[in-house]
Structure 1
């Protein structure tokens, strides 16, 4: 709420408005012939075609000669309601689509909505919003409040375990706007919003940012916190070059102050100057503005990333690890996330885990080996229990502390518990977990080797999690 309120003060509208405006823009600007072909077929529905295309919350429906599935019909009806709330009238168009009276028209419309979503939502709207940019990625909904995030997380995993147990689960890909580790860092700002707003105000005094729009200023601040090196050496010329390329692409995709079709070299140079000014003198202006927030974001972001790693491997689906993210990877959008990976460094880091303690890795968290340890040991557990993790039931576990996310996996008589700390800045959670009936009492953490015991189907969270590692993957003790 703090970030959203401050963004409103910067005249940043709600994301739903940004999204609709962006999709409407690309529909008229990039897809004029396709739109004209549809309108020529049903000129009386011209406004409805635009309004329903803009309001559609998915890439496309799948109506064919067999008719409309109930799911597609429901999606279209919901889109019609959204369009009506914005003043549009699309019921007649929805009736035409679901009735298949003009199947050729329906097929052509469905072929159009996917590109409009890709170019309007993915490649425009997600670059125009800067409330909390860690949310701005493919598959996300920056306009949705996070109040029910835990419930939605569990519901999605229950569905995946039931219907799609072999689907890929990825947190970084070749196409993400930011790597999982950059998103994990920036997400911390949702817990430290007041500190970020104070730091951004100081940065605006430290560096002359008046040539940038408020959205661009917020994007610069959040991006620099997302990629600023934990290494005391600070930013180098390579990072500056990567940031120059990133902001050029981000602003051109937003299509507001510059674009691919009509680039504004003067404005793009002004943005580069602001970035360079923030990082001048080994990042002194940025460090004066944000102070220890830089270190806190980096530390708690790493904690978040480790949590994501363990839950991804322990949950239903096939856990995918994108190249380079075995360690902490502070990459931005392509081509930045397609740079050559230093596999020699990763082989060395992996070999070093044999003699490393969790305490030592936690002390040196910035080198990423703690993340690698969690990934490696979680994958070993998964390999040792394939039926459990691939086809096992997913059971959300209620906790008495809202800082906990936990679930059980069960297959026949085999079990696993995944427990992790949410809201890293609020410390290690307490409270208890309620285990399902029939669950074992005696467990061993696959990540640390520590023994954990439950009593009467209750497990104390503090017995499983600690300051050094705030995630656990428990398997029944032999």
Structure 2
């Protein structure tokens, strides 16, 4: 019963303390887990689950002495310490490598079935965060994330081009099927593993300084992808695992990666892949810029993980713990100090910049005493065009009825005015696909 209840836990852990009331949240978690365990195990006596439920809620039998009560309480505390690692290993380090519908959603603390928020819900979450947790951390990449924020931003862009993705997937699978191997009457890699691989390649593919995907990749990149897929397959525990490695399957996956990335006139995959990689890189760049603009202006304390000062194509550890070239970053920061925004946008791919489309933008105003900032970023930018700046926005505008009329552009040093409390996005995002204004 203990094992089955832990398997049904919907969160990492509860936070019960002896001598203190059980919170409604913790009570709901325990009752939900026990109820689910009962349903899944009709052969186990129901009274056993009821006893465990009462024990976990500190509802001990009245005839217990102090020593026995202390022992029961100790069990609850140990139980709470145990559920977290089980959840992490069972969900993050297993299911998140199996359920690959859109792998960017398979993130630590994430919900793969949850495809995002409406704009209204986004604003409500920010208001709640400002009210309840104004000093909490806003992190987009850490040592523990499954892939970097920029890789996720690219992979999420797949959701904006579903028809192109579907057609391309069929072409790629057809072109690469000859590189698969038969192992125990099964194709290696299997369809799900191959599906994850293509998403990963789109997310991490190298982009030249002119914004065009690299026509070929280095042996280092091939090794990184092979290493990532080797870990992904072992974590999934379907065809191989850390405890029972299937060497033939592991080798087949590594060979498959090497063959499809090989620069050769006979390679039909790369010519079909690169145009899609270019489109994804553009959309992903806009997603990344919007994300980092919000991160630094929304409620909370922004956190910048090592290496993410520039475009970061890191995957899961140990890939995201490679040495960071800080000398290069210092040099680029010095070079960019006096470069106008229009020049930065022309060389977006080198990582120097961190009405008609009313549903393709997010904006908000934040105030502190007599100071205010206005933030605007694009969303679903594939509908607007690349880059989503200037006249691409047509007549789209922001209503600043509660915001300042005189605006100073933080990035371009321009002065703007909101006429009739409206600000045209074609002016706000004239040169860059994001905007932050202060009241002038």
For the criterion TM > 0.5, the same-fold answer is yes
Per the TM alignment, residue 145 of structure 1 is displaced from its structure 2 partner at its CA by 3.9
Question: What is the 5 A alignment of 1:96-111?
Answer: 96-101=55-60, 102-111=72-81
Q: 2:5 aligns to what? A: 52
Q: 1:294 aligns to what? A: 277
Report the Cα distance in structure 2 between the residues aligned to 1:318 and 1:168, rounded to whole angstroms.
5
Per the TM alignment, residue 451 of structure 1 is displaced from its structure 2 partner at its CA by 2.9
1:458 is the counterpart of 2:417? no
Q: 1:160 aligns to what? A: 129
2:262 to 257, 280, 302: 280
Q: 2:194 aligns to what? A: 217
Per the TM alignment, residue 83 of structure 1 is displaced from its structure 2 partner at its CA by 5.5
Q: 2:224 aligns to what? A: 242
Q: 1:140 aligns to what? A: 110
Report the Cα distance in structure 1 between the residues aligned to 2:23 and 2:85, rounded to whole angstroms.
22
Per the TM alignment, residue 108 of structure 1 is displaced from its structure 2 partner at its CA by 2.5
Per the TM alignment, residue 129 of structure 1 is displaced from its structure 2 partner at its CA by 1.4
- Asked if the contact 1:202/1:290 (under 8 Å) is kept, the reply is no
Residues 60-110 of structure 1 deviation map (CA, whole Å, 9 limit, x = unaligned): 001111131122123334545666776777666444422442423322221
Aligned residues: 401
1:189 to 155, 158, 183: 158
Report the Cα distance in structure 1 between the residues aligned to 2:24 and 2:356, rounded to whole angstroms.
36
Cα distance change, pair 75–153 in 1 and its aligned pair in 2 (3 A): farther
Q: 2:252 aligns to what? A: 270
Per the TM alignment, residue 125 of structure 1 is displaced from its structure 2 partner at its CA by 1.1
Q: 1:432 aligns to what? A: 397
Report the Cα distance in structure 1 between the residues aligned to 2:118 and 2:53, rounded to whole angstroms.
31
Please report the TM-score for the alignment, with normalisation by the length of structure 2.
Answer: 0.85
Q: 2:14 aligns to what? A: 61
1:174 is the counterpart of 2:156? no
Q: 1:253 aligns to what? A: 235
Cα distance change, pair 238–145 in 1 and its aligned pair in 2 (3 A): closer
Structure with greater Cα Rg: 2
Question: What is the 5 A alignment of 1:465-476?
Answer: 465-466=429-430, 468-476=431-439
Per the TM alignment, residue 441 of structure 1 is displaced from its structure 2 partner at its CA by 0.7
CA RMSD of aligned residues (A): 2.4
Q: 2:346 aligns to what? A: 363
- Asked if the contact 2:150/2:285 (under 8 Å) is kept, the reply is yes
Per the TM alignment, residue 426 of structure 1 is displaced from its structure 2 partner at its CA by 1.2
Where is the helix percentage greater, Structure 1 or Structure 2? 1
1:127 is the counterpart of 2:129? no
- SS in structure 2 opposite 1:407? strand
Cα distance change, pair 285–330 in 1 and its aligned pair in 2 (3 A): farther
Per the TM alignment, residue 415 of structure 1 is displaced from its structure 2 partner at its CA by 0.7
Per the TM alignment, residue 339 of structure 1 is displaced from its structure 2 partner at its CA by 0.7
- SS in structure 2 opposite 1:326? coil
Q: 2:65 aligns to what? A: none
Report the Cα distance in structure 2 between the residues aligned to 1:316 and 1:235, rounded to whole angstroms.
40
Per the TM alignment, residue 289 of structure 1 is displaced from its structure 2 partner at its CA by 2.8
Per the TM alignment, residue 433 of structure 1 is displaced from its structure 2 partner at its CA by 2.5
Residues 122-149 of structure 1 deviation map (CA, whole Å, 9 limit, x = unaligned): 1111111111111111121101243x34
Cα distance change, pair 134–272 in 1 and its aligned pair in 2 (3 A): same
- Asked if the contact 1:67/1:98 (under 8 Å) is kept, the reply is no
1:71 to 1, 25, 30: 25
Report the Cα distance in structure 2 between the residues aligned to 1:239 and 1:299, rounded to whole angstroms.
20
- SS in structure 2 opposite 1:207? helix
Per the TM alignment, residue 153 of structure 1 is displaced from its structure 2 partner at its CA by 3.1
Cα distance change, pair 124–151 in 1 and its aligned pair in 2 (3 A): farther
Q: 1:112 aligns to what? A: 82
Residues 319-352 of structure 1 deviation map (CA, whole Å, 9 limit, x = unaligned): 1111111010111111111111111211121111
Report the Cα distance in structure 1 between the residues aligned to 2:3 and 2:122, rounded to whole angstroms.
33
Report the Cα distance in structure 1 between the residues aligned to 2:405 and 2:162, rounded to whole angstroms.
40
Moved more, 412-421 or 86-95: 86-95
Q: 1:200 aligns to what? A: 169
Moved more, 148-157 or 196-205: 148-157
Per the TM alignment, residue 357 of structure 1 is displaced from its structure 2 partner at its CA by 2.1
Per the TM alignment, residue 152 of structure 1 is displaced from its structure 2 partner at its CA by 4.1
Report the Cα distance in structure 1 between the residues aligned to 2:76 and 2:160, rounded to whole angstroms.
45
Report the Cα distance in structure 2 between the residues aligned to 1:162 and 1:275, rounded to whole angstroms.
48
- SS in structure 1 opposite 2:372? strand
Q: Which runs of 5+ in 2 are unaligned?
A: 61-71, 181-186, 209-213
Report the Cα distance in structure 1 between the residues aligned to 2:154 and 2:132, rounded to whole angstroms.
32
Cα distance change, pair 80–422 in 1 and its aligned pair in 2 (3 A): farther
Question: What is the 5 A alignment of 1:351-430?
Answer: 351-371=334-354, 401-427=358-384, 428=388, 429=393
Per the TM alignment, residue 260 of structure 1 is displaced from its structure 2 partner at its CA by 0.7
- Asked if the contact 2:147/2:315 (under 8 Å) is kept, the reply is yes
Report the Cα distance in structure 2 between the residues aligned to 1:344 and 1:327, rounded to whole angstroms.
13
Per the TM alignment, residue 465 of structure 1 is displaced from its structure 2 partner at its CA by 1.9
